[in-house]
Chains A and B, each alone.
Chain A
Amino acid sequence: MRRWKLWLPLLAFVVLLGGVAMRIGKTEPPLPSPLIGKPLPAFSLALLDGEGRLTPESLKGRAVLLNVFGSWCVACVEEHPMLLEAARSAEIVGIAWRDKPEDTRAWLAKRGNPYRTVGLDPDSRAALDLGITGAPETFVVGPDGVVADKITGVITPALWRSRIAPLLERLK
């Protein structure tokens, strides 16, 4: 056996250590939702304001962003200006998850309301059907009611420009 081969285990260890060091502290990118390419699962939610229910059928006919948020959610505050901006060119429908209607109303009154309609999901019914793991999460839904994409976490301006706006344009 050649001498240099003795160093191979150490080298392998250093490479492994390097790999671990690079990944440490970083969160795994979220797995793609299995709902992509499938119709929205059935749900029926009371509306924050007005009569009727928020259902997948009520969204059909237009490309929409379905945004899950909560007045308790810190990251949603961060996302909010982007949604207000996006609402000028896109239709956004909100699901107020695990929230009291009065809290949602106060939150929207304070920060501005980017949503055409807001459905209420106080006990996580729709959230479980949609495979929600936290807030905010956003579905891009086509006019046919099929999920085209899902964004886990905050919609950043970069994400909006590169991924969501072009997709919405294509779906229209």
Chain B
Amino acid sequence: MIRRLVLALALIFAAAPAFAFDPAEALKDPVLETRARSIGEGLRCVVCQNQSIEESNADLARAMRVLVRERLAAGDSDSEVIGALEARYGDFIRLMPPLKATTALLWAAPALLLVGGLVAWRRAFRARAEAAGGAPLPPEEAAAQPGTTTLAIGAAIAVVASVAVYALLGHPGVADQPIRPRLAERLGVSEAAIDDMQRMAGEIETRLETHPDDARAWLMLGRADRYLGRHAEAAAALRRAIALGEAEAGVYADLGESLAIRDRRVGPEAEEAFARALAIAPDEPRAIFFLGVARAEAGDLAAAAKIWRSGAAMQPADSPWRRRLTLQADRAEAARKP
């Protein structure tokens, strides 16, 4: 039990927040750089709002990081740097709101709610005790009820524990990006490459807002989404690309594959996309592969084997697809035999 708890805590602490920081921005002086980071962690990225500027990839956050470092290098104190940004963006720029007249209610709310809750609880307790006996409880039972002191101590412990846990674990600015490192690992590329691809997808989306009929852009968006593992979005974009004229076998195969991954099975939509791919190019290997899978999923291994076998024959002699399809056909036939 204890060991598990320790492990859980260790894992929580190991999950360090992702920093968007580019080493080229860092100050040479390690003391100044540490100050810059701690200031940056308390400043809100105004583009993404719940990330600090140290964590955000937004251009504006980058500009703010540079500004913070320039001012520190010029000799400003920490509060001067924060004050300068606060004068321009307001309290909002600080992830931790300052205590002042306009934020007093925000700060007092937890305590007020706690006191209110305790009062309501006490009253409900008394009301129940009176309703039960019609008279105050006999002394030995009354002693068994938690008294005001016990409640107050319990409440105090709860508050202290909450504060302690928050002080240890809490960070209002943390917004981890767990998908990024995982994606990078799966694709075997750097996290920067993922960022590039996401940025590219964003740029294409911006272009599509003004040029919604750009078939090429829809195709690129679909491919970027596929690369990033966003298959539902990819399918939608590829459909648009096809409707606007990019109706090639490979695009249909991409569409079918994304639909199949989205639905976790080769459904009727995916099957139709693959059928269209084959109508254009009868040797399209992914269409052959997935249409065979569709038959196999439906329980018709004979039909699946036939599709894979004839499809394999259409592939060039040295292609990996020929081997893969042949293997599929062999397995399907082996599985058919009792």
A interface residues with partner B (beta carbon < 8 Å) = 1, 31-35, 41, 72, 74, 77, 98, 123-125, 127-134
8 A Cβ contacts from B198-217 to A:
206, 209-210
Which A residues are CB-close (under 8 A) to B72? none
Q: Does B63 lie within 8 Å of A131, measured CB to CB?
A: no
Interface string of B267-290 (1 = CB under 8 A from A): 000000000000000000000000
Q: A127 to B67: give the CA distance in the assembly, Å.
A: 12
User: Interface majority SS on B: helix, strand, loop or mixed?
Assistant: helix
Q: A33 to B89: give the CA distance in the assembly, Å.
A: 7
B interface residues with partner A (beta carbon < 8 Å) = 46-47, 59-60, 63-64, 67, 85-90, 92, 124, 127-128, 131, 206, 209-210
Q: Does B46 lie within 8 Å of A1, measured CB to CB?
A: no
Which A residues are CB-close (under 8 A) to B46? 133-134
Q: Does A124 lie within 8 Å of B60, measured CB to CB?
A: yes
Q: Does B88 lie within 8 Å of A131, measured CB to CB?
A: yes
26 contacting pairs across A/B (C-beta < 8 A): A1-B127, A1-B128, A32-B90, A33-B90, A34-B87, A34-B89, A41-B88, A74-B210, A124-B59, A124-B63, A125-B63, A127-B60, A127-B63, A128-B63, A128-B64, A128-B67, A128-B85, A129-B88, A131-B90, A132-B60, A133-B46, A133-B47, A133-B60, A133-B89, A134-B46, A134-B47
Which 3 A-B residue pairs are closest in the complex by CB-CB distance?
A131-B88, A124-B63, A133-B46
Contacting residue for B124 out of A1, A35, A127, CB 8 A: A1
If A1-B128, A134-B47 touch, whether A77 touches B210 (CB-CB below 8 Å) is yes
Which A residues are CB-close (under 8 A) to B92? 31
Query: A94: shortest Cβ distance to chain B, in Å?
Result: 19
Q: Does B206 lie within 8 Å of A72, measured CB to CB?
A: yes
Besides A32-B90, A124-B60, A125-B63, 7 other A-B contacts (C-beta < 8 A): A33-B90, A34-B86, A77-B210, A128-B63, A131-B88, A132-B60, A133-B46
Q: Does A31 lie within 8 Å of B90, measured CB to CB?
A: yes
Which A residues are CB-close (under 8 A) to B88? 34-35, 41, 128-131
Query: B315: shortest Cβ distance to chain A, in Å?
Result: 45
Q: Does B59 lie within 8 Å of A98, measured CB to CB?
A: yes
Tell me the nearest residue of chain A to B45, going by C-beta: A133
Which B residues are CB-close (under 8 A) to A124? 59-60, 63
Q: A46 to B67: give the CA distance in the assembly, Å.
A: 19
Which A residues are CB-close (under 8 A) to B210? 74, 77
Most interface-central of A41, A123, A124, A128 (chain B CB within 10 A): A128
Q: A132 to B85: give the CA distance in the assembly, Å.
A: 11
Which A residues are CB-close (under 8 A) to B60? 124, 127-128, 132-133
Q: A143 to B210: give the CA distance in the assembly, Å.
A: 37
Which B residues are CB-close (under 8 A) to A123? 63
Which B residues are CB-close (under 8 A) to A132? 60
Which A residues are CB-close (under 8 A) to B87? 34-35
